[in-house]
Structure 1
Amino acid sequence: LFRQNKMRNTDSNSDDIEDVSLFDADDDVSRRSKKSKIRHPVASFFHLFFRVSAIVVYLLCELLTSSFIACMVTIILLLSCDFWAVKNVTGRLMVGLRWWNQVDDDGRSHWVFEARKVSAQGSKTSSEAESRIFWLGLITCPMIWVIFAFSALFSFKVKWLAVVVMGVVLQGANLYGYIRCKVGSRKNLTSMATSYLGKQFLRQTVAKEDQTAS
């Protein structure tokens, strides 16, 4: 089962939350999935392959070829493949999240954010290692494209602005969508950070008490 949050682009800005059943029911596994084991190596590879390849091509394109068109087309294709793979495949497999936009019969746009529910036994389909890989690649690469955008702007490389802006937009859209999936429509980043810090403090306190007792 997945938790689904719908955000409707209407004047009331109301959010609808409902439980939906998506994908196969046999996705639920035992607690062993929480171990630091990569359960989806192919998805983990392609989660980083397209976006890292686009960055490498951008950095080395002037050394590889003198054709700006060839470099631009290659980078945009890699960015497009990355956007589709991360949005539709790797997010679902690696962290149990997915988002998309749909238009209903009335022409209204709906942003849909889904997160896989944890079962009563606390089982997951993604491991801690996959989660680290997913969020590291998802956050780091858009930041690199932002740096490229400022670099192209200040160095007056106007012809590259369209390419780097495309990188910022496509990878930034995935980042925004998955943050909304993770945080939820009724939570903000501040409350999530506070909860995280509280958990870390509690763990350290318990660990110190265990050491003292031993």
Structure 2
Amino acid sequence: MQRQDSHETPLFGDDYENKPRKSLIRHPLASFFHLFFRTSAILVYLLCDVFSSGFVVCMVTIILLLSCDFWTVKPNSKVTISSADSQIFWLGLIVCPIFWVIFVFSTIFSLKLKWLAVVIMGLVLQWANLYGYVRCKVGGRSNLGNMAKNYLGVQIFKQAMKANQNS
């Protein structure tokens, strides 16, 4: 039985082999801008020395691009979202902060410390966006804490049961 699209957005989608390619992405414009702003900020950082020698211009451009991503793609509970939309959204949300983490380390190791502020801003903006959406998806702070405690409790219980069986 195949799941119908709903207000609940899956982290990674169902199998849509039988559907035509056109129906996979219901919101191509939102998906495009979500990835456009994120990848543009990464490309501006990587190609900053080629396009402009101005540090401030590059920094402001990167921050504006990441801010545009934050304000462009907002959740709307009245819109049905396909599995493909959800996959694009979550992959973009998860992969881009990984690039900024890599940039932090490469900036430190290459001793380009003036760029460290830009990279940290990029990481903070991307991480805040990821954290906000994960928190909305999973629940509030208390729910995250309770989930972690429950998971740890179950793991400890399993280990204790395993130890009892081996004794």
Common fold by TM > 0.5: yes
Please, what is the CA RMSD of the aligned residues? 2.5
The aligned counterpart of 1:179 is 134
Q: Which residue matches 1:74? A: 61
Match of 1:31 in 2: 4
Q: 1:145 to 1:38 in 2, by over 3 A?
A: same
Question: Quick one: which of 135, 141, 161 aligns to 2:96?
Answer: 141
Cα shift at 1:82? 1.4
1:21 maps to which residue? none
Give deviations 1:66-125, integer Å, cap 9, x for gaps.
Answer: 222221121111111112223xx2xx15xx5xxxxxxxxxxxxxxxxxxx7xxxxxxx81
Segments of 5+ residues of structure 1 without an aligned counterpart are 1-29, 97-115, 117-123, 193-214
CA distance in structure 2 between the aligned counterparts of 1:189 and 1:59, rounded to whole angstroms: 37
* 1:46, distance to aligned residue in structure 2 (A): 0.6
- CA shift in 2, pair 1:83/1:153, >3 Å: same
Q: Residues 62 and 172 of structure 1: is their aligned pair in 2 closer, same or farther, counting only changes over 3 Å?
A: same
Report matched runs for 1:75-90 at 5 Å. Answer: 75-86=62-73, 89=74
| Cα deviation, residue 191, structure 1 | 7.1
Tell which deviates more after alignment, 126-135 or 31-40: 31-40
Higher helix share: 2
Cα distance in 2 for residues equivalent to 1:155 and 1:190 = 40
Q: Which has the higher strand share?
A: 1
Tell me the amino acid that sits aligned with residue 61 of structure 2. T
Q: Give the aligned residue type for 1:80.
A: S
Alpha carbons 1:183, 1:189 under 8 Å: kept? no
Size of the aligned set, in residue pairs, is 131
**Does residue 40 in structure 1 map to residue 27 in structure 2?**
yes
- Structure 1 residues 190 and 63, CA gap change in structure 2 (3 angstroms): farther
Unaligned runs of 5+ in 2: 7-13, 17-22, 152-167
- Matched residue of 1:66: which SS? coil
- The CA distance in 2 between the partners of 1:180 and 1:32, in whole Å, is 21
Hey, what does 2:111 align to over in structure 1?
156
Percentage of pairs with the same residue = 64
1:49 aligns with 2:4: no
